[in-house]
Amino acid sequence: MVKFTINGKSHSLNVDPDTPLLWVIRDHVGLTGTKYGCGVAQCGSCTVLLDGQAVRSCSVPVSAVQGKKIETVESLAKGGKLSKVQQAWVDHQAPQCGYCQTGMVMAATALLRQNPRPSDADIDAAITNICRCGSFQEVRAAIHAAAKA
């Protein structure tokens, strides 16, 4: 039995302790905003916040989240209002195909919580997610806009 909190809601699940957190979030909790991309922690599509830190959920065994707080992209909008990062993504048309964007939004959220006024170098160091469409300039502009909001 593993106990943890996702988006403020407590969960106790009887799953194999080696099950990647990604699959627990998607298959057992039913939150599908966190995406499967590569399965080897390279692309970042599966990024969630674990006790406030951006992590690649495909490589975190559920046993490692016992008693921890997990945030997914579903937690960001409040009362139908997008978070400042989500709104900046829309305003700057950051997504093209959009598949990687939930992971990027979560990584950007973690970055701005830790560093409210990041430089381009800070963004490049923190946002290591892969975007096959190449929307990195739009992502950087959205992060700077969210920092000013």
Q: How many CB atoms are located within 10 Å of the residue 71 CB?
A: 20
**Six-digit token string for 39:** 């399965």
Q: How far is CA 92 from CA 29, 87, 132, in A?
A: 31, 9, 18
Per DSSP, the three-state class of 6 is: strand
Model confidence pLDDT, tens digit, residues 61-82: 999 999 999 999 999 999 999 9
Where does the pLDDT of residue 23 fall: very low under 50, low under 70, confident under 90, or very high at 90 and above? very high
pLDDT band at 133 (very low <50, low <70, confident <90, very high): confident
Q: What dihedral angle (degrees, nearest 10) is formed by the CA atoms of 42, 124, 6, 21? A: 10
Q: Which domains does the chain have, with CATH numbers?
A: 2-75 (3.10.20.30), 84-148 (1.10.150.120)
